[in-house]
């Protein structure tokens, strides 16, 4: 069971080059959050789901924090979603820069995908703090 927010589009200021962080670019993001929503499904119980609007607010806030690497942005989003939503057991995320600064690039974008269980991600975060 998972909730999905698909093809979210943001204008943000991420990139290795200073011009990317100054001018900005469009990004698309897909996020799927695994959770048990059996009770919501069976009983139409709104208290047993994640509010899509709340998830969107968290993702939007993280997208507005400039970073050099999309990997870092995506990792921050996963960490923040796990922190805010205890029901989330796993997260799949895809973050794409629509027009990367690559000469003669002909495609829909470049980006990153990540899939983490809560346990695996929290172990990773714990190890980061030891470094």
> What CATH architecture is 2-130?
2-Layer Sandwich (3.30)
From residue 73, how far is each of 12, 35, 37, 68, 82 by CA, in Å?
11, 23, 28, 8, 14
The 10s digit of each residue's pLDDT in 91-129 is 999 999 997 777 777 777 899 999 999 999 989 988 876
The 10s digit of each residue's pLDDT in 82-99 is 999 999 999 999 999 997
Copy the structure tokens of residue 90: 């796993």
> Which residue is listed with tokens 């499904």?
41
- Output the average pLDDT for the chain: 92
**pLDDT of the residue at 129:** 64
Active-site residue list: 97
Percent of the residues in the chain that have a pLDDT greater than 90, as a whole number: 76
Top-confidence residue, 5 or 22: 5
* Domain residue ranges of the chain, discontinuous segments joined by +: 2-130
């Amino acid at each position: 069971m998972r909730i999905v927010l698909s093809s979210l589009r943001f204008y943000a200021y991420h990139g290795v080059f200073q011009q990317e962080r100054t001018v900005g670019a469009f990004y698309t993001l897909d996020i799927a959050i695994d959770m048990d929503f059996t009770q919501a499904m069976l009983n139409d119980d709104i208290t047993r789901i994640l509010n899509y609007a709340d998830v969107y607010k968290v993702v939007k806030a993280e997208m507005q924090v400039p970073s050099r690497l999309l990997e870092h942005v995506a990792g921050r989003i996963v960490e923040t979603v796990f922190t805010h939503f205890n029901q989330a057991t796993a997260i799949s995320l895809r973050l794409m820069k629509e027009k990367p600064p690559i000469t003669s690039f002909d495609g829909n974008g470049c980006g990153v995908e990540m899939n983490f269980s809560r346990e695996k991600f929290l172990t990773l975060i714990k190890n980061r703090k030891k470094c």
